[in-house]
Amino acid sequence: MAIKRVAILSPGDMGHAVGRSLREGGLEVITFLEGRSERTRGLADAAGIVDMPDLESVVDEADLVLSIMVPAEAVALARDVGQAIRTMGVDVYYADCNAISPQTTMQIEEIIAGDGGRYIDGGIIGGPPRGGYRPRFYVSGENAPVMSELDGMGIIVKQMGDEVGRASGIKMCYAGLTKGTSALHVAVLSLAESLGLTEELAAELESSQSAAFEAMESGIARLPARAGRWIGEMEEIAATYDSQGLPPGFHQGAASIYRLLSRTPFAAERAETVDDSRTSAETIEAAVDVLKESS
């Protein structure tokens, strides 16, 4: 089928940028903003995304719904959208593009398909589309081919076959490395700070682990603004490891590290308000201060 109108739920950092790119590609983009923050409303408005009065209107008007939100809200949204699908009697496509485990995506498939929708398993790798940069949307399931109509509209669509769970699985593997490594960096540097060994460890890392040290220096300061959204993602990754008989503890620990960062004063920042002059050392000091206050 020809996709003409896409719904984005919800148009936050990633969602509004995807919506803007799809509009630039010639599609109509809609959403439903009840209960969303003023910031999200502003992002949607800036991207030219049209707010609909209710979810029933969304599923009735859209050819395809993209769920792009924090993992912890993915199942609840699917239930709400599923009820709207059942009420309206439509068979709209529903792509869950969140960082969820294969088990969770299968649970959502059961909800959406059970209510009459057509489910697509998805996973996004990369940041929001901007300035020529295009994130990769991995998709799988028997309905996934329809997503290829969006390929080139600010995103790259990669087909993963007709088995639901494959797209979510590759996201779990990838984020388990990238965001898991960032959590490990924070843990190591926080330990050094607590032991009074920050300068000594920095000198050794700069000498013998220069690539890792550079990553620590360049990436940690922006983590608190994202930490709250990444707690659930680490928990989904841990569940994925556990489902395959692999130890889930590392990513459960990573969730705890992001929970720690979410308690620092810097967690109130958003992507557009992060203080880029702040150093990794200042971020680690704030995390260790939280630890001291709670001990």
Instruction: Spell out the domains of the chain, with CATH numbers in brackets.
Output: 5-162 (3.40.50.720), 169-294 (1.10.1040.10)
What residues have CB less than 8 Å from 212, skipping those under 6 apart? 185, 205
Interatomic CA distance for residues 198 and 196, integer angstroms: 6
Half-sphere exposure of 294 (CA within 13 A, CB side): 10
CB-based contact 140:121 (threshold 8 Å): yes
User: Over the stretch 135-157, which tens digit does the pLDDT of each residue have?
Assistant: 999 999 999 999 999 999 999 99
User: Over the stretch 216-226, which tens digit does the pLDDT of each residue have?
Assistant: 998 899 999 99
- Position 1 scores a pLDDT of 60
Mean pLDDT of the chain: 96
- Position 108 scores a pLDDT of 98
DSSP string, the chain: ----EEEEE--SHHHHHHHHHHHHTT-EEEE--TT--HHHHHHHHHTTPEEPSSHHHHHHH-SEEEE-S-GGGHHHHHHHHHHHHHHHT---EEEE-SS--HHHHHHHHHHHHHTT-EEEEEEEESS--BTTB--EEEEESTTGGGGGGGTTSSSEEEE--S-TTHHHHHHHHHHHHHHHHHHHHHHHHHHHHHHT-HHHHHHHHHHH-HHHHHHHHHHGGGSHHHHHHHHHHHHHHHHHHHHTTS--HHHHHHHHHHHHHTTSGGGG--TTT--TT--HHHHHHHHHHHHHHH-
User: Over the stretch 190-219, which tens digit does the pLDDT of each residue have?
Assistant: 999 999 999 999 999 999 999 999 999 988
Mean pLDDT along residues 33-38: 92
Mean pLDDT along residues 235-252: 98
- Position 86 scores a pLDDT of 98
What percent of the chain lies above the pLDDT cut of 70? 100
User: Over the stretch 42-89, which tens digit does the pLDDT of each residue have?
Assistant: 999 999 999 999 999 999 999 999 999 999 999 999 999 999 999 999
Is pTM beyond 0.85? Reply is: yes
